[in-house]
Amino acid sequence: MFGEQLLSNLAQGIVLGCVYGVATMGLSLIFGVLKVVNVGHGAFIMVGCFVTLFFFNSLGMSPFVAIPAAFLLGLGIGYVFYYSAIRRLLKAPELSTLLATFYMGVILQEVVKLIYGSEYRGFRWKVGSLSLGFTSLPMAKLYAALGSIAVALILYAWFRKTRAGTAMRAVVEDDEGARVCGVNVGGVYAMSFALGIGLTVASGVMLAMFLPVGINPYMGAEYTLKAFVIAVLGGLASPYGAFFGGLIFGIIENGSYTFLAAIPGVEPFGMTRFLSFAMLLIILLIRPTGLLRAK
Amino acid sequence: MMRTLDKYAAIFPVLVVYAVLFLLGLNMSGMWQLMATLLFYCALGQAFNIFLGMTGYVDFGYVAFVGMGTYGMAVTITSLAGTGLGGLTIIAGYIMALAFSGLLSLAVGAVALRLRGAYFAIATIGVNEGLRFLIEGTNLWGGSGGIIFTRQLNDILGKDASSALATFWADVLVLIIAVLAAITTIVYMRSKIGYALTALREDEDAAKVMGINVTMFKILAFMTSACFAGLLGATAWALKTPYVFPPEVFEIHYTIEAIIIVMLGGAGTLLGPVAGGLIYGIGKYVLSIVLPGFQLLIFAPLIIIIIVAFPDGVVGGIRNKFGHTALGRFIL
Amino acid sequence: MAALLRLENVSKRFGGIVALNQVNMEIQYGEFVGIVGPNGSGKTTLFNVINGVYFPDEGRVLFEDRDISRLPTHRRASIGLGRTFQIPRPFASATVRENVAVGAMFGSRGKETNVNESMLVAESIIERMGLSRHRDKKAELLTPVEKKLMEIARALAMKPKLLLMDEAMAGMHPGEIDRLVELLGGVAAEEEVAIVAMVEHVMRAVVGMAQKIIVLHQGEKICDAPAQEALNDPKVIECYLGYTPEEAS
């Protein structure tokens, strides 16, 4: 019974972990390139969830169609926020970008609240489920995980194969050096911010499949915090690290639940979250470049 | 004597603002609650500024210290309720609040202050959230159910006294904390501590080379700031409203509010947090009357605009203009 | 009298790279020493080891016969070790006077100097460095050369016994260098500060003033001799081939 429970939670963790991973890549990308921590990160994921909701409930279309739409919307939002505020704050103390990104999240949250209200919503995409013997996984979640892996692979290819991707990698390594080599660093900043936001909004589509009744304008805060833990796990500045960080986080979060639930007097929901933040602190202190990065 | 007066002149505008707020609240009917809120914001900004403004480190988990102070008072009141100590319980509560927030800040400071910039900010968020979920996960101090101690507070002080405490005296205590924080700020600024903190804020490695024990000064500022936060929690969140729930006292939005107050006014200035507290508090109040339900929608872009337009805050901006005039010494 | 500073077999490695290899050296009280070496020769690492930014992997650093190999930077400052940086690092938002006063407040006489006294110390040093008219200016508003002078003033305010100067003269024109050298010479004699100046080129100004020149090459000390002797050392010439002529001749 315990073993079956554990296996089932681990399977859930792997599937959800892929989504966590892709949902954190944007945060890492933006930090890696601009050294800006997007404190409003979760709100952008929330927007993606509502885009899915709109496509599924209002247009009756498959959530897959929502992925490119959410990405493009995010790209647009990203460019607007970059040119209206972030660009002017890059030289200011950290405080400024931390506050600015937080309030960008608040703007999105309030706009969505204006349109949809603040009650919880969601949808069920009934496409059957896959039986694994010890448990069964809804196909919708499986598709979300596959979609996440696909997005991560596309990003990887884009980084390696395109000029813009190469320029971006150059800026991550050394922005002064890149500037000297003729890279338009300002343009790369703008594109990275927009791309990071686009990815994040798109990841909201994937996450929506896990939240049949959990979508509301304020849901973002929780995912901002999770994304911080994941990003730190994978090395704050590395998008691929973030993907694997997400996978590890999903497995630990879901796996530990089974153990914690077995301890009397412990409230497992709170305890898994405590563990994740304890993990965050320990990694920050002993290995701030992330678990996965070789020194 | 003149020299000393001159040295500490900058505190007078702060005290004048506090006095005006207090007298307005006392003498105009219906204004007390608003003035009390403004005083709370000013005090919070003043307390946070000692760390955030003076060191330049962004503590994104600052509210945890307010929360620990609240718990310190709540735990003391619930456990001493039957002992008949009366008013002494409140004093014990304050000691406990200081111990909670002071010890937490010492522990966090000793380890996390090695991290810089964004890493420190994220670590402190981690401390705040971790603490909240530790309390909920282990069912410590009532777990997610929190502590409600209205009845115990009534038992200790009597019903009338405890309601007077909630509606009036707690706010007066907040005022006193605000004044103490302002005094501490100027004493720090005018002593070697202030120079050490300025130096390490501008360039930590150069500060070390000058002989400054940066770790010690950072922890000093961190603990001072945290202890004031603890006192505020014990007063404005425990004595004024005798209950405490983890999601409420560890809510990240309060940290953001504190940051905005410091930032709006001008980080590292003495008058800044007061200006910031007033601007923020009045702005929030007016919007909640004019556009109830839409405050945040208006407020959020407004704050972004202010951050972009006044990177040094309002007082910081004025100081940049008038820093060398006779006016300058009042703004610090 | 024992040496002011002594390095015994100091080595420092970063990963596989040996930045300093078994370096021995002595600096006497009040001495002016030039440390010369091209980029990557280990000069900066040497300074960082003396200064406490890094601890040596092997060997010892002795200051007035006391082993300071593992002493943190700020403690070294308080026993009389000052330093200036290659690119000046002023406390940007503070005024020139405040910057210099910080040196007096926390340097070797920091314990017995209060804020007001530090301000007075700062004023006299600022005057000496010829920065009086910038006294109440924010440090970030100074020109690069003024920032350099201010940084030297700040270090002198610490009343160090040993002052490490990192490329102090880079970016200055010859007239300014002469003035600075003269100033330093005066201060060094008067206050009995030993000065260790690190330079990339064998400069006329340094050679003229230094009692001794130490040449580093790929982490090793290849020469430690009086200035003129060092200039004629074949090993030094070899390492600087195509590098020195215009300066050294």
Helix A220-234, helix A2-34: angle, nearest 10: 80
Pull the structure tokens for residue A110.
């309030």
- Chain C contact for B79, CB < 8 A? no
- Chain A contact for B294, CB < 8 A? yes
* Three-class secondary structure of residue B178 per DSSP: helix
Rounded to two decimals, the ipTM of the complex is 0.88
**Tens-digit pLDDT profile for residues A120-139:** 888 888 778 887 777 788 88
Task: Report the share of chain C in percent with pLDDT over 70.
Answer: 92
pLDDT at A294: 47
- B-chain CB neighbours of A271 within 8 Å are 133, 137-138
* Three-class secondary structure of residue A219 per DSSP: coil
- Chain C contact for B187, CB < 8 A? no
Report the gap between the CA of A163 and the closest CA in chain B (Å): 29
Longest Cα–Cα distance in chain C: 54
Nearest 5°: phi and psi at B33?
-60, -40
Q: Output the CA angle C126-C130-C131, nearest 5 degrees.
A: 55
- A-chain CB neighbours of B311 within 8 Å are 89, 92-93, 96
CB contact under 8 A, B263 and A94: no
The yes/no answer on whether domain B2-331 falls in CATH 2.60.40 is no
Q: B125: nearest CA in chain A?
A: A225
Chains contacting chain C through 3 or more C-beta pairs under 8 A? B
Report the gap between the CA of B53 and the closest CA in chain A (Å): 10
Question: How far is Cα C202 from Cα C199, in angstroms, rounded to an integer?
Answer: 7
Domain covering C1-80+160-249, topology:
Rossmann fold (3.40.50)
Helix B117-137, helix A220-234: angle, nearest 10: 120
Q: Could you identify the residue written with the tokens 């990240």? A: B252
Nearest 5°: phi and psi at B250?
-115, 20
**Tens-digit pLDDT profile for residues C96-143:** 999 999 999 998 888 888 888 889 899 988 988 888 898 888 888 888
CB contact under 8 A, B195 and C51: no
- Chain A contact for B258, CB < 8 A? no
Q: B145: nearest CA in chain A?
A: A267
Q: Count chain B–chain C contacts defined by CB atoms under 8 A.
A: 76
C15 backbone φψ class: left, alpha, beta (φ>0; ψ -120 to 50): left
Task: Report the share of chain A in percent with pLDDT over 90.
Answer: 33
CATH tag, A2-286? 1.10.3470
Report the gap between the CA of B124 and the closest CA in chain A (Å): 9
- C-chain CB neighbours of B208 within 8 Å are 72-74, 77
Pull the structure tokens for residue B29.
């009917």
CB contact under 8 A, B139 and A31: no
Query: Which of C91, C121, C147 is best to mutate for the B interface (most B CBs within 10 A)?
Result: C91
What are the residue ranges spanned by the domains of chain A? 2-286
Q: How far is CA B285 from CA B34, B41, B288, B303, B313, in A?
A: 8, 12, 5, 15, 20
- Chain C contact for B210, CB < 8 A? yes
CB contact under 8 A, B208 and C82: no
Q: Judge whether A46 and A112 are in contact, CB under 8 Å.
A: yes
CB contact under 8 A, B311 and A96: yes
Q: C83: nearest CA in chain B?
A: B209
β-bridge partners, C60: C8
CB contact under 8 A, B134 and A274: yes
- Chain C contact for B329, CB < 8 A? no
Per-residue pLDDT of chain B (332 residues; tens, 9 = 90+): 557 777 888 888 889 999 999 999 888 888 888 999 999 999 999 999 999 999 989 899 999 999 999 999 999 999 888 787 878 888 999 999 999 999 999 999 988 898 888 889 889 998 999 899 999 888 889 888 889 988 888 888 888 888 888 888 999 999 999 999 999 999 999 899 999 999 999 999 999 999 999 999 999 999 999 999 999 999 999 988 989 999 999 998 899 999 989 988 888 888 889 999 999 999 889 988 888 878 888 888 988 988 888 877 777 777 776 655 555 555 55
What's the distance, Cα to Cα, between the start and end of chain C in Å?
36
Report the gap between the CA of B307 and the closest CA in chain A (Å): 6
Query: Which of A103, A253, A263 is best to mutate for the B interface (most B CBs within 10 A)?
Result: A103
What are the residue ranges spanned by the domains of chain B? 2-331
B50-80 CB burial, b ≥16 within 10 A, e <16: bbbbbbbbbbbbbbbbbbbbbbbbbbbbbeb
Q: How far is CA C215 from CA B115, B291, C128, C228, in A?
A: 37, 73, 31, 13
Q: Does C215 score more than 80 pLDDT?
A: yes
pLDDT average, residue stretch A12-38 = 90
Q: Global pTM?
A: 0.90
- Chain C contact for B202, CB < 8 A? yes
Q: Does C248 score more than 50 pLDDT?
A: no
